[in-house]
Amino acid sequence: MRRLLLLTLGALYASGCAGGIRDVEAPGDQPVVFGRILASEDGRRLDGIDLLRNEEFRLIVLPDGSSSASDYLPDEDGVFCWALVPGGYSIAGFFRAFGASKVSTGRIGFGFRVPQESGPVYIGDLVIEFSRGSYTLRVDDALGSATHPCGLGTRVVKQLMAPVGEPGSFRETLPICNGFWGDTCGRRNAGVIPISPRASTSFPPLSTLTPRLQWQPAGNGTFSYDVVVYEAASWVLNGIQRHQFPGHVAVYAENVAQPSLALTTPLEPDTRYYWSVRLRDGDRVSTWSSHGYFDFYLVGFSSAYNQPFTFTTP
């Protein structure tokens, strides 16, 4: 039987250090949420660390109202069983590493709540399917056919995780590289190309808390734009490397007519932010714009793709 994974998020968030995951035999009196992670790429299972392929796949777990996240490394069967401090959480996104240099991240945005009462809560099977640089998400209800993984005899409550954090109203989403949007994708960009702040491998500093975000016009000129700004959340890989990730939404504007947006409400000082733009045609929207990079150094190189744009406030 698989041992219970205890994510000591409450103590770690309080101390400002995230990323602690350890195995325990029993959850004690804490509430437990469980389910399964089924991630695959073109039919091949992704199960945490693949030594043969030199790959890693992790999920990023973020508590509501916090900018400190934690990573979770699924195992070969994908079953998870988490003892968490009561409150709201989201499986905010994923982190993939290929070899020593190439990294891909993406948003997931499925939320769940840990109740005050003890006992197991089934939050569903999260299915992530990658194919040709894009991915689809869904949550399946497989409680009826699943074996209880936590080793507890108490009654199971079902509260399936649900999408959260995707701003705006829309009926349909098409990939940003779909021909419907025109020629919007290149070797290093998918969607609009940012002008100010420019795409960067870091978080370029700004001189104002109310910046004007600008980008090159995209499509055939008949589309409007949605703009989102996320406060950066951070998590620590292997207790050493601190990573940033789009966290909670700080600004959202819908149906912007021109390829720019001047923020009127000041952002937080000395804070890192992500931002992106999507195309809109009535109630049909694209996926969010992103960029990639490939940088050489004296001792090697680093690369990434599917990255939002970034900046830091003064």
User: 156 and 24 share a domain?
Assistant: yes
Within 10 A of 51 (CB to CB), how many other CB atoms are there? 6
On the question of pLDDT at 284 being above 60, the answer is yes
User: 222 and 253 share a domain?
Assistant: yes
Please tell me the predicted confidence (pLDDT) of residue 208: 98
Note if the bond before 197 is cis, omega within 30 degrees: yes
User: 141 and 269 share a domain?
Assistant: no
pTM of the model as a whole: 0.76
Please tell me the predicted confidence (pLDDT) of residue 307: 81
Please tell me the predicted confidence (pLDDT) of residue 147: 57
212-259 pLDDT, tens digit each: 999 999 877 789 999 999 999 998 887 778 888 888 899 999 999 999
User: 274 and 222 share a domain?
Assistant: yes
CA Rg value for the chain = 20
Q: Give the domain range for residue 180.
A: 172-312
Please tell me the predicted confidence (pLDDT) of residue 285: 95
Please tell me the predicted confidence (pLDDT) of residue 150: 65
User: 251 and 134 share a domain?
Assistant: no
User: 24 and 118 share a domain?
Assistant: yes
User: 233 and 158 share a domain?
Assistant: no
Q: Strands 102-114 and 300-307, how do they pair?
A: parallel
On the question of pLDDT at 29 being above 50, the answer is yes
Report residue 84's pLDDT band, with 50, 70 and 90 as the boundaries: confident
Lowest-pLDDT range of 75-79, 88-92, 203-207, 298-302 = 298-302
Q: Which of 131, 163, 195 delimits the end of a domain?
A: 163
Q: Which of 119, 137, 163 delimits the end of a domain?
A: 163
Please tell me the predicted confidence (pLDDT) of residue 250: 95
DSSP 8-state class, residue 296 = E
User: 133 and 268 share a domain?
Assistant: no
User: 261 and 212 share a domain?
Assistant: yes
User: 112 and 8 share a domain?
Assistant: yes
On the question of pLDDT at 135 being above 80, the answer is yes
Q: What whole-number percentage of the chain has pLDDT above 70?
A: 82
Q: Which of 130, 163, 196 delimits the end of a domain?
A: 163
User: 134 and 176 share a domain?
Assistant: no
Domain count of the chain?
Answer: 2
User: 187 and 304 share a domain?
Assistant: yes
CATH number of the domain residue 234 falls in = 2.60.40
